[in-house]
Homo-oligomer: A and B are copies of this chain.
Amino acid sequence: MEQRCILDPEGNLISEAPVGLDETERLFDAMLTARLYDRKCSAMQRQGRLATYAPYEGQEAAQIGSAAALRPGDWMAGTYRDAAAMWMHGYPFVNLLLFRMGDERGGCPPEDVFILPPSITVGGHMIHAVGLAWASLIKGDDRVAITYFGDGATSEGDFHEAMNFAAVYETPTIFVCQNNQYAISMSREGQTRSATIAGKADAYGMPGVLVDGNDVLAMLAVTTEAVDRARSGGGPTLIEAFTYRAGPHTTTDDPLRYRPAEEVDEWSHRDPIVRVRRYLQHNGRWDHDREQTVLDGVAAAIEAAVAEAEATDPYTAIEVFEAMYAEPTPVLKAQRDALLRDQGSA
């Protein structure tokens, strides 16, 4: 299967761009934002201000390009590594940060954001995007649902069940597999013997597309096609975004245990941001100062979000019991009261 590619690593268009330069600039800025946020989080984790963090550096195009194909109101269900896509689709930094600080209020985005909190278990959330999209068919609205997952997740039984349900009920679901070549230490080759992940779509009678995941224009193009098909009753699509995780699995991981430094180096020449910068530059749309201005703005926005998140008071003991059910059950009330009593007496 051929990889769809529009913008090559040198920043040359090799087929027709799906959007003009203004929109490309917007995607570029979004990728800059995503990278800055990602690096900030890794740094904050090292300072002990965030719990474990899963960096997505190298995968910005896959996330930003695909998320850009959505409309507000479309559903999204992604993973711990999909903060860029979530942010692009409207999930505020402050919520992303709160989650990473170990605060469930991070999972509560504003009412007009239809993004589930990131899935930490691998595989289980894909079928949610099938149910969410199925609801559109039953209710007769036109929201689609996009789900993000990794190459490793395709080995879980839940991937199979989700793909099969989506195809059987023709739900408007877009499955975006970011094949970043690793599932923690397991290489893509060790994960499955299928030639491509995109090809797995056949097993469900679903279209599968292989795309250069480091090419934001190609990502936008193939996702737009899938979204259009889904929205017009054409059912689900599997997209394999061929990409690379530049950093460790999480901030506690040491990738040198399982992959050579040369491989990382090789992929760095295919950086998703660099090629768009070159493309904009070829077209007279890039200069250093503009980029710096964007970055400064983003840094300020992130700092503000960090400040807001860090200023949020931690939960009280009472609050811990409050969102298990619409109303705490008598059993939970008793447990809460006993806790308050003991915390008082200890």
Q: Which residue of B lies closest to A235 (CB)?
A: B193
**Chain B residues near A318 (CB, 8 Å)?**
none
Q: Are A167 and B155 in contact (CB under 8 A)?
A: no
**Chain B residues near A191 (CB, 8 Å)?**
168
A321 beta carbon closer than 8 Å to chain B: no
Complex partner residue of A202 from B159, B164, B202, B206, CB under 8 angstroms: B202
A192 beta carbon closer than 8 Å to chain B: yes
Q: Pick from A156, A157, A159 the residue with the most CB of B within 10 Å.
A: A157
Q: Are B190 and A168 in contact (CB under 8 A)?
A: yes
**Chain B residues near A202 (CB, 8 Å)?**
194, 199, 202-203
The answer for the CA separation of A61 and B190 in the assembled complex, in Å, is 37
Would A157 and B161 be within 8 Å (CB), given that A203-B203, A204-B193 are in contact?
Answer: yes
Q: Which residue of B lies closest to A194 (CB)?
A: B205
A346 beta carbon closer than 8 Å to chain B: no
A200 beta carbon closer than 8 Å to chain B: yes
Chain B proximity of A304: nearest CB distance (Å) = 43
Chain B proximity of A338: nearest CB distance (Å) = 30
A35 beta carbon closer than 8 Å to chain B: no
A228 beta carbon closer than 8 Å to chain B: no
**Chain B residues near A199 (CB, 8 Å)?**
202-203
Complex partner residue of A164 from B155, B158, B205, CB under 8 angstroms: B155
A125 beta carbon closer than 8 Å to chain B: no
Beyond the given pairs A157-B160, A194-B205, 19 more chain A to chain B contacts, judged by CB atoms under 8 angstroms and listed by A's residue number, are A155-B160, A155-B161, A155-B164, A156-B157, A157-B157, A157-B161, A160-B160, A168-B192, A168-B193, A192-B205, A193-B204, A193-B205, A193-B206, A194-B202, A194-B203, A194-B204, A199-B202, A199-B203, A200-B203
The 9 A-B residue pairs whose C-beta atoms are closest, nearest first, are: A157-B157, A193-B205, A160-B160, A203-B203, A200-B203, A167-B193, A194-B205, A157-B161, A157-B160
